[in-house]
Amino acid sequence: MANQTSDLKPVLVWLRRDLRLADNPALHTAVESGKPLILLYIKETNAARETGGASGVWLHHSLTALSKDIELKGGCLVLRSGEAAEILDDIIEQTGADEIHWNRRYEGWARDVDAAIKTDLKNRGIKVESHKANLLIEPWEVETKTGGFYKVFTPFWRAAKSVFTVDEPLSAPEEIKPFAGDLDSDDLADWGLLPTDPDWGSKMMALHSPGEAGAADRLASFLDGPVEDYAEQRDRPDDENGTSRLSPHLAFGEISPRQIWTATKNNYYVSDKFLTEIGWREFSYTLLFYNPQLASENYKSDFDKFEWASDEAKVEAWRHGQTGYPFVDAGMRELWQTGWQHNRVRMVCASFLIKHLLTDWRVGEAWYWDTLLEADPASNAASWQWVAGSGADASPYFRIFNPFSQGEKFDKNGDYVRKYLPELKNLPNKYLNQPWTAPAEVLAKAGVKLGETYPKPVVDHKAARERALAAYKESRA
């Protein structure tokens, strides 16, 4: 194989969080070469952080879908597990490949891996190209007047929109010319991404369609009406069509922000709020790029002296939707059951853990990393730090979401709470978000026994709020 003539040497495409054929610059450039292709996905064993449980389930199904899509184009997807540098070397030695393409990633550890591999391969005469594929604008392309990066979202997004131009998305290749030689490929099932005992993944996936086609269908459905009411409906968790639910597809690169932008821009006046959410994702990646430890260290170092008062029993109650605050509990059960959580509810649940329970934001970030299907390395960390007050452009420390008034405001009919907390389904709306205030006869008629069928509040709202404000003020003194 290695003695093939130069013009037949294969081109290697290393796929990562870009599991799509359309608008994939690395793949597109490789196809344009006219050479045989090797499409490779590596489960990197030296990654700084293991894939979370829920996102592993999504990854399994996304790779399955991608493999089928590649086969329909005439190619095949090679799967390998190990350290990327060693695997790439092995394939290059086995096939004689002298060209490799990948799309850029932005986590600190990943950038270090990519830089080392690129330097080594180039020194050995192998062509290496990295491409912009998963952001509208690179983190270094938007600078303040003093040459730094923006630390507040609104001026960042204003500046970004004035700088970037969004080209038309690239079409999927009509054909993928495969490398003719034999290459070993792992059996995806052997990666153990799917839970078996119990099999909670199957139930979760019944609500989602991983893969490029699923992403396209999700976007089309959203643009076919719901986007027009997005600004008003996006805060209502009881409206299943109020948000796009594209986040897992974006996180795994089954759809690009450029595809979303292009499909949505003609609807600008009714979807500007939606495109701003794409902007927050871009901002989060800028923060991650310049702060590689965003998921493990306070962005604002003065938070390092904050004294947390974690109570593991109460944290466990939060994790499993047993806090006694229905809107919070419904959100945590939605996350556990579906691997997804409504954005308004995310803020309320995060605020409750950090401020009502005075628990380090990293505890929550780690739980969401494991239970969210998307588990985006930038958005997850940036959003948790935003709620905590320790991040860039953070929510003010004195902003503490009221866990029952939020439910009363955004789940007015109680449909969301009743869906995930069926034990409260017979409670009147008046008491649904504060069942501890219901008269005994109302609770009895609804079949609710506080402390038995549904927990009593793990903390008193007023007392918890005052404790949090005092702790935050003390840390700022």
Answer yes or no: is 193 within a domain. no
SS3 content of the chain, % helix, strand, coil (to 5): 50, 5, 40
What is the C-alpha separation between 212 and 64, in angstroms, rounded? 11
Q: Which of 58, 336, 384, 386 is catalytic?
A: 384
Strand, coil or helix: 37: strand
Query: 370: domain CATH number?
Result: 1.10.579.10
Q: What CATH number should be reported for the domain holding residue 246?
A: 1.25.40.80
The CA distance from 330 to 410, in Å, is: 13
Greater model confidence, 351 or 163: 351
CA-based angle 317:341:404, to the nearest 5? 60
Q: Which amino acid is at 310?
A: S
- Residue 228 domain-assigned (yes or no): yes
Catalytic residue among 14, 340, 361, 367: 361
Q: What are the two backbone dihedrals, phi and then psi, of residue 182, each rounded to the nearest 5 degrees?
A: -85, 135
Q: What are phi and psi of 101, to 5 degrees?
A: -130, 140
One domain for residues 343 and 434: yes
What is the overall mean pLDDT for the chain?
94
Annotated catalytic residue within 14, 58, 157, 280: 280
Last residue of a domain, one of 256, 290, 324: 290
Q: From the candidates 32, 232, 308, 413, which is the catalytic residue?
A: 308
| Residue 177 covered by a domain | no
Same-domain check for residues 13 and 151: no
Residue 200 annotated among the catalytic residues of the structure? no
Give yes or no: residues 273 and 162 share one domain.
yes
- Please report which confidence band the pLDDT of residue 3 belongs to, taking 50, 70 and 90 as the band edges: very low
Work out how many domains the chain is built from and give that number.
3
The span from the CA of 443 to the CA of 426, in Å, is: 9
Catalytic: which of 83, 138, 141, 343? 343
Q: How far is CA 298 from CA 93, 145, 231, 301, 350, in A?
A: 43, 25, 31, 6, 16
Q: Which residues are annotated as a binding site for FAD?
A: 230, 243-247, 274
125 and 226: one domain? Answer: no
Considering the domain architecture, whether residues 418 and 472 belong to the same structural domain is answered as: yes
At which residue do the structure tokens 């929109």 appear? 161
Residues 257 and 375 in one domain: no
CA-nearest of 415, 381, 403 to 321 is: 403
Say which residue the tokens 């605050």 belong to. Answer: 325
Q: Is the domain of 70 the same as that of 125?
A: yes
Q: What is the DSSP string of 216-256?
A: HHHHHHHHTTGGGGHHHHTT-TT-TTSS---HHHHHTTSS-
Q: Are residues 151 and 260 in the same domain?
A: yes
Residue 72's CATH number: 3.40.50.620
- Is residue 281 situated within a structural domain? yes
- Tell me the residue range of the domain where 52 lies: 6-132
- 194 within a domain of the structure (yes/no): no
Q: Are residues 386 and 240 in the same domain?
A: no
Residue bearing the bigger pLDDT, 364 or 7: 364
Whether residue 10 is contained in a domain is answered as: yes
Handedness of CA 295, 297, 303, 307 (dihedral sign): positive
Asked whether residue 338 falls in the same domain as residue 361, the answer is yes
Known catalytic residue at 343? yes
Q: Is 14 a catalytic residue?
A: no
Are residues 269 and 308 part of one domain? no
Are residues 316 and 420 located together in one domain of the fold? yes
Examine the residue annotation and report whether 134 is marked as an active-site residue of this protein. no
Report d(CA 150, CA 89) in Å as an integer.
39
**pLDDT score recorded for residue 226:** 85
Q: Which of 266, 290, 314 is the last residue of a domain?
A: 290
Please, which pLDDT band fits residue 55 given cuts at 50, 70 and 90? Answer: very high
Residue 206 clears pLDDT 50, i.e. is over it: yes
- Note the pLDDT tens digit of each residue in 392-435: 877 777 889 999 999 999 999 999 999 999 999 999 999 999 99
